[in-house]
């Protein structure tokens, strides 16, 4: 058995290298590449992903997994070996259903799609993106069909992003959440004390904002000997190995908190990737997990820490010194209230913690309708605007501020959006469980010490890579299933404190 596991690992190490190489090419495309490079880059990434798929779905891997599956009975479920066999067998069974030609075509189309989306967004012209999005959606439906039969073609897409989730579960969770979120928004709008966040618009030097973001990431435990932070159009984190994990962030000239929160959010992802158990390196279990698990880490850092009073009690004076004299007059309470201001608005990534969920639920519903053919790509702008009005009471004046705002669909990421909200929900469950083990967690944040928190998250979540599904991880980390109740309780308490809802 050990010999077969070693052979399997050797095969997977190459697959992992090809995938990581594709990630390097993708990072380069987003951060460094001259515009002329886009066509060749699409071909190169397509070749790498196609070959990775081909090697992973080879007969040798299939035979090794077949030989190893019976050994699962003798192995501890949580061991690295059992997890390797279990997770790879699941992925192999998925991957052999997808022809290499689909993988290459999808890589090619989405690489062009990203570029077309960026141009369409810049020019507020959905029509130039539409034909590529048609093609992308068609490819995603083709993909879903590789997994027929299903109750809903959206199920395989959801399961791809976070194994073990389906549209019935997520739909039920979101259907329960929507009225509660809407009610909370209404209560805040109706009876809350007004919050002034106009000072967040003060122009601060972009270079200094990035430098401050770099400093914050380092404070939280991100290691620059094993990473770097750059600017890109859409912030993301990518890992080429636990020792080379890169962050990108953005600067919004109209809101300096965007750079702060995006740096903290991505630092959360990067801490996840840097704190993996080294034994999992090159096994393909060596980064992240389902998207919702990943988001639980970034949202934990962004929301639970990065939007807390405790964090800014220590860090606001540091920020003031960093940008002196522009922020010298800021007071903690006013700043804390401003960065938590609840207000229905157009752009998901600018949304507060409460309305954010409604942005996600809208996307979940639209994706579900798209892949089921209930909404066509050409109707998307109209549908988007109608639902924005219904759920949030605001209508995008342009598609750039509406249906074109997110990069995801241009990359073929359909079924991904729900995980942002699921991540926020799970982050609160982690926070509740953490406080039982570390009663001083808030005091630690206030003292600017983050080692204990990181150690807890590393132990419960980060080190495991992709060993466990979200339900498995939730059972181990918080002792129960995913639940929206702690999330709503957390939001209500925080908003009561800020808005005096009584």
Which residue, 46 or 153, has its beta carbon nearer to a copy of itself? Answer: 46
280 lies in the binding site for a copy of itself (CB under 8 A): no
Interaction pattern, residues 341-370, with a copy of itself; x per rule: CB under 8 A: ------------------------------
* Residue closer to a copy of itself (CB basis): 39 or 124: 39
Residues for the chain: how many in total? 502
Phi, psi of 110 (to 5 degrees): -75, -30
Choice between 34 and 502, CB closer to a copy of itself: 34
Contact indicator for 11, 84 with CB cutoff of 8 Å: no
Angle between helix 470-478 and helix 417-437 axes, rounded to 10 deg: 20
Please choose, from the candidates 423, 406, 428, the residue with its C-alpha nearest in 3D space to the C-alpha of residue 487: 428
Among 41, 123, 208, 313, binds a copy of itself (CB under 8 A): 41
Residues 281-310 that bind a copy of itself (CB under 8 A): 281-282
Give the number of other Cβ atoms within 10 Å of residue 95's Cβ.
20
Q: Which two tokens stand for residue 353?
A: 């913690």
Number of residues forming the site for a copy of itself (CB under 8 A): 38
Q: How far apart are CA 9 and CA 77, in angstroms?
A: 18
Nearest-approach distance from CB 415 to a copy of itself, in angstroms: 28
The 3-state DSSP class for residue 234 equals coil
Contact 430, 478 (CB under 8 A): yes
The one catalytic residue among 30, 81, 162, 266: 266
Closer to a copy of itself by Cβ: residue 239 or 424: 239
- Pick the closer one to a copy of itself by CB: 103 or 470: 103
* CA dihedral of 283, 290, 136, 393, whole degrees rounded to 10: -160
Q: Is residue 472 among the annotated active site residues? A: no
Kindly state whether residue 34 participates in binding a copy of itself, applying the rule CB under 8 A.
Answer: yes
Q: Is 32 in the site for a copy of itself (CB under 8 A)?
A: yes
Name 386's Cβ contacts closer than 8 Å, sequence gap at least 6.
none
Binding part of the chain for a copy of itself, among 40-48, 214-222, 432-440, 488-496 by CB under 8 A, reads 40-48
Q: Does 28 bind a copy of itself (CB under 8 A)?
A: yes
Span near a copy of itself by CB under 8 A; candidates 19-27, 78-86, 144-152, 331-339: 19-27
CB closer to a copy of itself out of 208 and 314: 208
Q: Which is nearer to a copy of itself, 29 or 167 (CB)?
A: 29
In angstroms, rounded to a whole number, what is the distance separating the alpha carbons of residues 500 and 502?
6
- Contacting a copy of itself within 233-262 (CB under 8 A): 240-241, 243-244, 246
Alpha helices in 339-416 (DSSP H): 356-371, 380-392
Interaction of residue 144 with a copy of itself, rule CB under 8 A? no
Nearer to a copy of itself by C-beta: 47 or 169?
Answer: 47
Residues 280 and 465 sit within 8 Å (Cβ to Cβ)? yes
If you write DSSP's letter for every residue of 58-112 in order, what string do you get?
Answer: SHHHHHHHHHHGGGGGGS-TTSHHHHHHHHHHHHHHHHTTS-HHHHHHHHHHHHH
Cβ nearer to a copy of itself, comparing 185 with 229: 229
Residue 39 found at the interface with a copy of itself (CB under 8 A):
yes
Is residue 269 within 8 A of residue 221, CB to CB? The reply is no
φ and ψ at residue 440, rounded to 5 degrees: -90, 10
Piece in contact with a copy of itself (CB under 8 A), picked from 132-140, 219-227, 314-322, 464-472: 219-227
Residue 208 within binding range of a copy of itself, rule CB under 8 A? no
If one asks whether residue 228 binds a copy of itself (CB under 8 A), the answer comes out as yes
Cβ contact 253:282 at 8 Å: no
Residue 223, token pair as written in the block: 């290691």
Out of 4, 9, 11, 14, the residue judged to bind a copy of itself by CB under 8 A: 14
Counting beta carbons within 10 angstroms of the beta carbon of residue 33, is it exposed (0 to 12), middle (13 to 18) or buried (19 or more)?
middle
| Segment near a copy of itself (CB under 8 A); pick from 34-42, 262-270, 342-350, 404-412 | 34-42
How many angstroms separate the Cα of 310 from the Cα of each of 27, 209, 449, 450, 478? 34, 21, 11, 12, 23
Place of tokens 């807390």: 308
Stretch that binds a copy of itself, among 46-54, 125-133, 195-203, 263-271 (CB under 8 A): 46-54
Encoded tokens for 458: 């590393």
Interaction of residue 25 with a copy of itself, rule CB under 8 A: yes
3-class DSSP state for residue 130? Answer: helix
Of 12-20, 119-127, 332-340, 373-381, the window that binds a copy of itself (rule: CB under 8 A) is 12-20
Residue 36 makes contact with a copy of itself by CB under 8 A: yes
Nearest distance, CB of residue 450 and a copy of itself, angstroms: 20
Number of Cβ within 10 Å of residue 499's Cβ equals: 21
Nearer to a copy of itself, 190 or 225 (CB): 225
Considering only residues 47 through 106, tell me which ones interact with a copy of itself, judged by CB under 8 A.
47-48, 51
3-state secondary structure of 255: strand
Applying CB under 8 A, the span of 156-164, 222-230, 338-346, 373-381 interacting with a copy of itself comes to 222-230
Binding site for a copy of itself (CB under 8 A): 13-14, 17-18, 20-22, 24-25, 28, 32-37, 39-41, 43-44, 46-48, 51, 223-228, 240-241, 243-244, 246, 281-282
Where in the sequence numbering do the catalytic residues fall?
266
């Amino acid at each position: 058995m050990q010999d077969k596991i070693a052979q399997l690992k050797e095969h997977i190490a190459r697959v992992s290298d090809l995938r990581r190489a594709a990630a390097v090419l993708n990072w380069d495309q987003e951060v460094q590449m001259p515009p002329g490079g886009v066509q060749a880059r699409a071909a190169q990434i397509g070749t790498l992903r196609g070959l990775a798929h081909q090697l992973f779905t080879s007969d040798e891997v299939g035979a090794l997994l077949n030989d190893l599956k019976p050994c699962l009975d003798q192995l501890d479920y949580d061991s690295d070996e059992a997890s390797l066999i279990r997770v790879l067998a699941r992925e192999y069974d998925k991957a052999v259903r997808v022809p290499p030609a689909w993988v290459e075509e999808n890589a090619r189309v989405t690489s062009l799609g990203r570029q077309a989306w960026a141009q369409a967004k810049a020019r507020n012209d959905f029509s130039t993106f539409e034909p590529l999005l048609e093609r992308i959606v068609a490819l995603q439906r083709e993909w879903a069909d590789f997994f027929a039969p299903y109750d809903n073609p959206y199920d395989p897409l959801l399961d791809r992003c976070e194994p073990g989730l389906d549209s019935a579960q997520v739909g039920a969770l979101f259907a329960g959440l929507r009225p509660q979120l809407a009610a909370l928004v209404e209560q805040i709008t109706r009876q809350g004390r007004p919050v002034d966040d106009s000072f967040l618009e003060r122009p601060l030097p972009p270079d200094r904002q990035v430098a401050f973001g770099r400093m914050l990431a380092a404070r939280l435990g991100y290691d620059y000997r094993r990473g770097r932070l750059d600017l890109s159009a859409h912030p993301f984190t990518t890992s080429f190995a636990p020792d080379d994990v890169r962050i990108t962030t953005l600067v919004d000239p109209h809101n300096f908190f965007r750079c702060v929160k995006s740096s903290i959010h991505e630092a959360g992802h990067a801490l996840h990737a840097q704190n993996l158990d080294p034994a999992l390196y090159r096994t393909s279990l060596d980064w992240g997990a389902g998207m919702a698990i990943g988001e639980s880490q970034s949202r934990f850092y962004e929301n639970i820490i990065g939007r807390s009073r405790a964090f800014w009690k220590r860090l606001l004076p540091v920020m003031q010194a960093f940008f002196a004299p522009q922020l010298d007059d800021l007071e903690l309470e006013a700043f804390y209230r401003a960065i938590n201001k609840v207000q229905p608005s157009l752009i998901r990534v600018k949304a507060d913690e409460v309305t954010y969920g409604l942005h996600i639920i809208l996307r979940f519903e639209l994706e579900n309708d798209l892949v089921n053919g209930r909404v066509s790509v050409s109707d998307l702008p109209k549908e988007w605007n109608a639902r924005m009005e219904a759920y949030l009471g605001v209508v995008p004046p342009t598609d750039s501020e509406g249906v074109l705002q997110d990069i995801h669909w241009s990359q073929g990421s359909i079924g991904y959006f729900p995980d942002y909200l699921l991540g926020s929900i799970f982050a609160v469950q982690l926070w509740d469980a953490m406080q039982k083990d570390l009663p001083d967690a808030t005091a630690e944040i206030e003292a600017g010490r983050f080692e204990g928190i990181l150690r807890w998250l590393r132990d419960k979540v980060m080190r495991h890579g992709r060993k466990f599904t979200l339900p498995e991880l939730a059972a181990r980390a918080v002792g129960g299933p995913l639940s929206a109740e702690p999330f709503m309780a957390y939001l209500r308490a925080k908003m009561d404190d800020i808005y005096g809802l009584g």
